[in-house]
Amino acid sequence: MTDRYQQFTRSGLGRQVVRRLGLPNPTPLRRYAPDRPALDAPALVGGAGRLGDTVASVLKATGVEVAEAERYGALVFDATGIDEPARLRELYDFFHPVMRKVGTCARVVVLGTPPRGGGRDAIAQRALEGFTRSVGKELTRGATAQLVYVAPGHEAAVESTLRFLLSAKSAFVDAQVIRVGTLGGEPIEPGDWDRPLAGKVALVTGASRGIGASIAEVLARDGAHVVALDIPAQGAELSEVANAVRGAALQLDITAGDAPAQLVRYLRDRHGGVDIVVHNAGITRDRRLANMKDAAWDAVLAVNLSSQLAINDALLAEDALRPNGRIIGVSSIAGIAGNNGQTNYATSKAGVIGMVDAYAPVLAERGATINAVAPGFIETKMTAVVPLLIREFGRRLSSLAQGGLPVDVAETIAWYANPASSAVNGNVVRVCGQSFLGA
């Protein structure tokens, strides 16, 4: 779907109107392409903590120069050494002189230690959240800011996360707090960082169109064999997606009583199990609660939550999720902020967050992980039918002042799926351009 306002702002007249009236001016976001460098300007690194070596080695491996410059592609600050509130001044000292030098679509990453216990170190570390979220709001021209809390002893495990954040793959992820190693997990380095999912089997539900089709594409690009699942009515589109990614099409309604058993049988018989399960299928049946039919409530809860729990339970009971496996949910910012006319949808999507919380320790014991993305406004058929005014609010009321693309959600899912992300467990990362809803 085209964002006509954004196109207008790129025209000569549009530029003038935007400047004169002080209207939102969304910068076209830089997105991943295999032949482009991870960042297009040098990085500046600061802070003194546990993660200096990991940061240096990731920047070196991804070909990013670390140097003083007039424009920066990234500012990375290791705040793990900040052990009391007075030392938060170190953030000011590092960032204040360079805030005007942050380049277009640049990345700010602050690294901390998960705040635990009642000490002053935990208070100082908790303060990093307010700092990072505010920096996200101050940055312009498509630049983003994130905070990554890395549990002590899991320094090496942050590599896949840094690679993701310090690249164009995280274009629409803004002002997020990510936790690495808080539930354990030993990273397994992929043989090839460009095809980290080689040899893996990935199931993607709702894969015939929209975000699901993009997830199938990105996971296949990263080397996975994709089993693309959708309802029989979507059969033709599903086959197209499956053929395009050289995967398999599986027509199945996930709410059918025997769907979990059928799915497990299919994955076992054909592939001996599954490595990555992406619960993307989702529906909306919007009405204010007073006007909502019970069938609309039931259908949304069944597709968006109950069927996913039943599939997880069947996979785990039958041991069909392989070691270092991944379960990935697709929540929504409606599940965090709530939304007028979407009580059923928001309930189901908040339930997906509950699913992550409940299963994360269980999967950690099996050496697997569960995480979710919570997309904001993404340009798809689902959002194309939203009334114009609400659609415009959805797009502009965010730090990046635009909707995201399905690929932005897919890239975030691919980061979770990476074998090196085994210490990334129990996270819900919003892919929303720092939407002001529920932030």
Ligand X SMILES: NC(=O)c1ccc[n+]([C@@H]2O[C@H](COP(=O)([O-])OP(=O)(O)OC[C@H]3O[C@@H](n4cnc5c(N)ncnc54)[C@H](O)[C@@H]3O)[C@@H](O)[C@H]2O)c1
Residues with a known catalytic role: 345
Q: Select 368 or 410, whichever has its Cβ closest to ligand X.
A: 410
- Say how far apart CA 224 and CA 247 lie, in whole Å: 9
Site for ligand X, rule CB under 6 A = 205-206, 208-212, 230-231, 234, 253-255, 280-283, 303, 330, 332, 375, 377-378, 380-383
Task: Reduce the secondary structure of 28-79 to three states and give it as a string.
Answer: CCCCCCCCCCCCCCCEEEECCCCCHHHHHHHHHHCCCCECCCCCEEEEEEEC
- HSE (side-chain half, CA atoms, 13 Å) at 205: 26
Q: Are the CB atoms for 367 and 374 separated by under 8 Å?
A: no
Instruction: Tell me the two tokens of residue 192.
Output: 């090839």
- Say how far apart CA 163 and CA 77 lie, in whole Å: 15
Residue position matching structure tokens 């027509």: 251
As beta bridge partners, residue 366 has none
- What's the min distance (Å) between Cβ of 220 and ligand X? 17
- What's the min distance (Å) between Cβ of 286 and ligand X? 12
Q: Select 109 or 315, whichever has its Cβ closest to ligand X.
A: 315
Instruction: Tell me the two tokens of residue 432.
Output: 């929303």
- What's the min distance (Å) between Cβ of 280 and ligand X? 5
Q: Select 167 or 205, whichever has its Cβ closest to ligand X.
A: 205
Cα dihedral 187→190→194→196 (10° resolution): -80
Instruction: Tell me the two tokens of residue 7.
Output: 């196109």
Q: Select 148 or 204, whichever has its Cβ closest to ligand X.
A: 204
Q: Select 93 or 294, whichever has its Cβ closest to ligand X.
A: 294
Q: Are the CB atoms for 162 and 30 separated by under 8 Å?
A: no
- What's the min distance (Å) between Cβ of 376 and ligand X? 7
The Cβ of residue 216 has, within 10 Å, a number of other Cβ atoms equal to 30
- Say how far apart CA 136 and CA 415 lie, in whole Å: 21
Q: Are the CB atoms for 108 and 135 separated by under 8 Å?
A: yes
- What's the min distance (Å) between Cβ of 378 and ligand X? 4
Q: Select 210 or 426, whichever has its Cβ closest to ligand X.
A: 210
- What's the min distance (Å) between Cβ of 392 and ligand X? 14
